[in-house]
Chains A and B, each alone.
Chain A
Amino acid sequence: MLRKEQNDLLTQTGPGTAMGRMFRSYWLPALLADELPENDCPPVRVKLLSERLIAFRDTQGRYGLMDEFCAHRGVSLWFGRNEECGLRCSYHGWKYDVSGQCVDVPSEPEASGFAKKIKLRGYPLVERGGVLWTYMGPPEAQPPLPEWEFIMVPPAHTFSSKRLQESNWLQAMEGGIDSSHVSWLHRGDLDSDPLFQGAKGNQYNLNDARPVFEVAESPGGLYIGARRHAEGGHYYWRITQWVMPSFTMIAPRGHHSVHGHFWIPIDDDTCWTWSYDYHPIRALTTGERDAMRDGKGIHVRYVPGTYRPLANKDNDYLIDRVAQKAGRTFSGVDGIAMQDASLQESMGPVVDRTRENLVSTDNGIIMARHRLLRAVKAFTEKGVAPPGVDAAHQKVRSAAIVLPPDVPFTEGARDALIARPEVAPASV
């Protein structure tokens, strides 16, 4: 459980909140690069950390992210014209560049310099790895660009998607580090999903349904190890990485790609679930990309024209009670992503953590909260940069590995837990 004030502290991320300020220490994924596919394309509305913003790509290919509303009369710039290196409001023609600086007020004499006195709040927006990243904190504290491995590999090696999740970011993220649910909720998917099937490690999962969990602190967050019995008294380890505030990387399976998530607050009731798949040493196959676009693995199918999952709370996630009864799915919901999201959304927008009854296998969640609370306190009271800002904390990998029984997994998998260019992931 958490006390109410702790729950509020961790779940409220709007401007001026402690957690919101800490989130603004990081480069955050804001849009897929495909959402702004060409110069002077239509602008896109973006809500992040409870701020309504507009993103656009100007005539010279520069990206901008700024206050959605014109400084003149408060009209949404989504209706604006993206032309000649700026976004022009459709109401009275005020025009802004990618930094949010007003560059033209047609009703005022150009020589008056009035336009220079108008500036919308703007944030940097930078493409890396097919994702547009923004930094919403104070300019003087802007860290170097992110270096997560999935955005540093060649474009052919990586695939990212995003989906709307109708819950607070924290309960979505806590689902990502709650390794003990996998043996229940996702038990039907290891053998059927094309992005998981066929790995030797799947057999260890299926042969030992009662893993023992070990949690250890890492420089950027946590290592969460799930230990199962393997041959010769050895252990099969699946090691998930969590890096603050909301990045996870799930242990790979066999030759398949490595995958994981970011959970980014839209506001306190919704978040973006970012999902990535990549392979450090090879291009993704056409079949893999098609499967990801078709909602397999950790991705979803969408309501056309949106990033809302096709299975969503308004259609009861297309629950199939026959499949549930027959054991094809455990919850009746199809697909790993929506199996998770359906249950996390069912908790309510912000779950009341004063009423929960955690058990010892929830130590991953307990320790993540502990680290977040410590980090936000140090950040707020002493200005200490939180873990995960440092690029060294971002160069991590998950691992699936067989180790002798007396070896700490943090030692036995030490090299495997670090991202190294052109080195294959540790996977079974």
Chain B
Amino acid sequence: MSSAGEARFRVQAPNSLPRAIKVIALDAVGAAATDRLAAGGWQQAAFFHALSSGALRDFFGRTSAVDDEVATADLIVMVAGPGGQAHAAATIGRACSARRVNTTGLLVSNAADPGLSKTLAQLRPWSLMVVIADSDEYIGDMMTALRA
């Protein structure tokens, strides 16, 4: 039974361990969003740009391999805008698939943007969840909700 009184007696001990969330910008729209977010002082999140070389570069300018970052992640969030410049999605997606790491594809775009389908075609095969948000403000709220 649940009642207001009963609900007060819920166990208050921690019920989860921290998760590592890695946010990877796939194009210029994603880069602008992740750079803004990276300055936010997150406890459990790291932010990267996908480079044309296939490597990742973090907020401090350090480069690393996709496989290495995926290996230590619980969730990979790939961020892109419309227009079909999310080429790195396949490389990152394959690495996540091989290691069974969950993926979210986050498109910052109006749902009616004509360039949406091109990016969706790149993200869909590699995303277990796809979000189309009008504004990159959403990413911060999503990260907070996921305890990043």
Instruction: Point out residues on A near B: beta carbons under 8 Å.
Output: 1-2, 166-167, 212-218, 223, 269, 313-314, 345-350, 352, 355, 357-363, 366-367, 369-370, 373-374, 405-408, 410-411
Cα of A269 to Cα of B128 in the assembled complex, Å: 35
Given A349-B7, A355-B15, A357-B147, decide whether A406 and B131 contact each other with a Cβ distance below 8 A.
no
**Would you call B111 and A408 a contact (CB within 8 A)?**
yes
Residue B2, interface by CB 8 Å: yes
Cα of A314 to Cα of B1 in the assembled complex, Å: 7
**Would you call A369 and B145 a contact (CB within 8 A)?**
yes
- Looking at the assembled complex, report how far the CB atom of B140 sits from the nearest CB atom of chain A, in whole angstroms: 9
- Looking at the assembled complex, report how far the CB atom of B12 sits from the nearest CB atom of chain A, in whole angstroms: 8
**Would you call B133 and A213 a contact (CB within 8 A)?**
no
- Looking at the assembled complex, report how far the CB atom of A170 sits from the nearest CB atom of chain B, in whole angstroms: 14
- Looking at the assembled complex, report how far the CB atom of A386 sits from the nearest CB atom of chain B, in whole angstroms: 15
B residues 120-148 near A (Cβ < 8 Å) are 120-121, 124, 127-134, 137-138, 141-142, 144-147
Report chain A residues within 8 Å CB of B141. Answer: 366, 369-370, 373
Partner of B111, one of A167, A355, A407, A410: A410
**Would you call A214 and B145 a contact (CB within 8 A)?**
no
Listed by A's residue number, 10 A-B pairs whose Cβ atoms lie within 8 Å are A1-B144, A215-B132, A216-B131, A314-B1, A349-B7, A360-B129, A406-B120, A407-B117, A408-B117, A410-B116
Cα of A370 to Cα of B137 in the assembled complex, Å: 9
- Looking at the assembled complex, report how far the CB atom of B138 sits from the nearest CB atom of chain A, in whole angstroms: 6
**Would you call A361 and B145 a contact (CB within 8 A)?**
no
**Would you call A363 and B142 a contact (CB within 8 A)?**
yes
Grouping DSSP codes into helix (H, G, I), strand (E, B) and loop, the B interface class, with mixed when no group exceeds half, is mixed
Report chain A residues within 8 Å CB of B10. Answer: 348, 352, 355
Interface string of B1-35 (1 = CB under 8 A from A): 11110110010000110000000000000000000
**Would you call A406 and B121 a contact (CB within 8 A)?**
yes
Report chain B residues within 8 Å CB of A411. Answer: 112, 116-117
Grouping DSSP codes into helix (H, G, I), strand (E, B) and loop, the A interface class, with mixed when no group exceeds half, is mixed
5 tightest A-B CB contacts, nearest first: A348-B7, A216-B132, A214-B130, A410-B111, A360-B129
Partner of B129, one of A213, A269, A407: A213
- Looking at the assembled complex, report how far the CB atom of A278 sits from the nearest CB atom of chain B, in whole angstroms: 26
Report chain A residues within 8 Å CB of B1. Answer: 313-314
- Looking at the assembled complex, report how far the CB atom of A165 sits from the nearest CB atom of chain B, in whole angstroms: 12
Report chain A residues within 8 Å CB of B15. Answer: 355, 357
**Would you call A214 and B7 a contact (CB within 8 A)?**
no
Cα of A407 to Cα of B7 in the assembled complex, Å: 46
**Would you call B2 and A349 a contact (CB within 8 A)?**
yes
A366 closest partner in B (C-beta): B145
Cα of A359 to Cα of B15 in the assembled complex, Å: 14
Report chain A residues within 8 Å CB of B124. Answer: 212, 405
Residue from the set A223, A348, A352, A374 with the largest chain B CB neighbour count within 10 Å: A348
Residue from the set A218, A269, A314 with the largest chain B CB neighbour count within 10 Å: A269
**Would you call A370 and B138 a contact (CB within 8 A)?**
yes
Report chain B residues within 8 Å CB of A313. Answer: 1-2
**Would you call A408 and B145 a contact (CB within 8 A)?**
no
Report chain A residues within 8 Å CB of B131. Answer: 214-216, 363, 367
**Would you call A357 and B16 a contact (CB within 8 A)?**
yes
- Looking at the assembled complex, report how far the CB atom of B126 sits from the nearest CB atom of chain A, in whole angstroms: 11
Residue B45, interface by CB 8 Å: no
Cα of A24 to Cα of B120 in the assembled complex, Å: 38
Cα of A348 to Cα of B128 in the assembled complex, Å: 31
- Looking at the assembled complex, report how far the CB atom of A319 sits from the nearest CB atom of chain B, in whole angstroms: 12
Using A363-B104, A406-B117, A410-B116 as known contacts, list a sample of 16 further A-B pairs with CB atoms less than 8 Å apart, ordered by residue number in A.
Answer: A212-B127, A214-B129, A215-B130, A217-B111, A357-B15, A358-B145, A359-B146, A360-B146, A361-B129, A366-B145, A366-B146, A367-B131, A369-B141, A405-B121, A408-B111, A408-B120
Residue B80, interface by CB 8 Å: no
Report chain A residues within 8 Å CB of B88. Answer: none
